[in-house]
């Protein structure tokens, strides 16, 4: 579609850069990855797309883009040939739910498993200090200390993870591995024999955290070899070789994941909505028995819930009629619509993927 590669600004250990990189590889979209240099590229990205976050994409025609979810949807609309997003309404909605859950809820255990342990924090802070802060005239130890402190205060201890709930945060990961090990012992990809957006969604946490960072990788190796094999299979999958089929029984096969989305992720999103509505910066919430005290509010995640609702509303009447009973049975329907209205600015994030109004979580606020 372009005669030159797109430029992917980010980091080669970043969650969302990894998600987009996996997508480009599977879809065979030529790209070059450029490590964002602090502070220069962060300012440049903020000017171009409204927020300083990674990845940011520069198209060969000079346009800039942000937000992996909307970037992928944009590319899927432009490209021809077999899509990664199924046409079947149930499978399509399943993909959107899993992608959102992976982006916004698995972020929590991924950040914890990277930054909590000295081993993980040592690896990642050293890598990021060298990759992103190379041109800053500061001693390496100071850069590493700054990075560790920023990430912990932004995303782990500063986002409601404490000694009292850390085992439950780790349990999010081990339960996910148990669910996926069963699935990938039976099929190659989440929806069957070919990759879909659901696999790409899960590749953010897996490719760049769980199958890379020392602590979660060891757990993955020991307890979920079929999941480890899927990580490599997805990285190696190429669009022209999508010969297999998506299977209609995927909805049943993935029901344990759906039940976590309904019981854990959506209640978290609703608590975040109420905190934003009340104008708070922090909120307390109990999910699956884990009490998170002082979690950061996210205006972006209000938009995520809005997006899940809009995707349903934009489906045809027939599609909605087939989706609703399924969502009710999966325990998704009630929490999806629980909040009567969503506290969003007018047109908030409506210009994605070309311009963003909000960041997922602003680590330094």
Q: Which residues bind ligand GSH (CB under 6 A)?
A: 14-16, 53-54, 67-69, 103, 359-360, 363
What per-residue string of b and e applies to 117-146 under the rule 16 or more CB within 10 Å gives b?
A: eeebbebbbbbbbebbbeeeeeeeeebbeb
Q: In terms of CB distance, is 8 or 180 closer to ligand GSH? A: 8
Q: How far is the CB of 43 from ligand GSH (least distance, A)?
A: 13
CA pair distance 332, 279, nearest whole angstrom: 26
Between 14 and 196, name the residue whose CB sits nearer to ligand GSH: 14
To ligand GSH, the closest distance from the beta carbon of 226 in angstroms equals 26
**Residue whose CB is less far from ligand GSH, 217 or 363:** 363
Q: Provide, rounded to whole angstroms, the least separation between the CB of residue 54 and ligand GSH.
A: 4
Q: Which of 175, 173, 241 is nearest to 213 (CA)?
A: 173
Q: How far is the CB of 105 from ligand GSH (least distance, A)?
A: 13
Contacts of 202 (CB under 8 A, 6+ apart): 98, 102, 106, 180, 190
Q: How far is CA 158 from CA 105, 153, 196, 288, in A?
A: 16, 4, 34, 20
Contact 299, 307 (CB under 8 A): no
In whole angstroms, the minimum distance from the beta carbon of 286 to ligand GSH comes to 25
What are the phi and psi torsion angles at 94 (to 5°)?
-60, -45
Q: In this complex, which beta carbon is closest to ligand GSH, that of residue 70 or of residue 171?
A: 70
Among residues 89 and 205, whose Cβ is nearest to ligand GSH? 205
Q: Which is nearer to ligand GSH, 102 or 330 (CB)?
A: 102
Alpha-carbon distance of 237 to 25, in angstroms, equals: 8
Rounded to a whole number of angstroms, the minimum distance from the CB of residue 187 to ligand GSH is 26
Q: How far apart are CA 153 and CA 158, in angstroms?
A: 4
If one counts every other C-beta atom within 10 angstroms of the C-beta of residue 30, the result is: 12
């Amino acid at each position: 579609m372009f005669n030159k590669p797109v430029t992917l600004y980010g980091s080669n250990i970043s969650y969302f850069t990894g998600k987009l990189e996996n997508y480009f590889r599977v879809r065979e979209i030529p790209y070059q990855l450029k490590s964002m240099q602090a502070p220069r590229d962060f300012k440049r990205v903020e000017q171009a797309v409204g927020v300083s976050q990674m990845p940011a994409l520069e198209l060969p025609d000079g346009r800039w883009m942000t937000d992996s979810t909307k970037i992928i949807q944009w590319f899927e609309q432009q490209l021809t040939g077999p899509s990664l997003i199924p046409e079947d309404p149930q499978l399509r909605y399943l993909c959107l739910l899993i992608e959102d859950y992976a982006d916004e809820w698995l972020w929590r255990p991924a950040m914890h498993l990277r930054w909590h342990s000295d081993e993980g924090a040592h690896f990642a802070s050293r890598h990021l200090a060298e990759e992103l802060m190379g041109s800053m005239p500061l001693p390496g130890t100071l850069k590493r200390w700054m990075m560790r402190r920023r990430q912990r205060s932004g995303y782990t201890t500063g986002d409601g993870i404490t000694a009292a709930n850390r085992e439950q945060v780790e349990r999010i990961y081990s339960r996910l591995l148990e669910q996926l090990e069963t699935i990938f012992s039976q099929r190659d990809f989440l929806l069957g024999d070919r990759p879909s957006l659901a696999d790409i969604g899960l590749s953010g946490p897996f490719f760049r955290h769980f199958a890379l960072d020392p602590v979660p990788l060891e757990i993955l190796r020991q307890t979920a070899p079929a999941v480890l094999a899927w990580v490599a299979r997805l990285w190696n999958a190429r669009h022209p070789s999508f010969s297999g089929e998506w299977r209609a029984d995927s909805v049943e096969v993935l029901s344990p994941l759906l039940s976590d989305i309904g019981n854990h992720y959506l209640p978290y999103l609703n608590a975040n909505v109420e905190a934003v509505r009340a104008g708070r910066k922090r909120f307390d919430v109990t999910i699956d028995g884990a009490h998170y005290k002082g979690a950061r509010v996210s205006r972006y995640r209000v938009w995520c819930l809005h997006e899940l609702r809009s995707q349903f509303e934009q489906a045809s009447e027939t599609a909605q009629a087939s989706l609703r009973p399924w969502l009710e049975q999966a325990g998704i329907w009630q929490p999806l619509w629980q909040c009567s209205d969503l506290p969003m600015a007018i047109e908030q994030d409506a210009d994605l993927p070309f311009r963003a109004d909000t960041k997922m979580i602003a680590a330094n606020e």
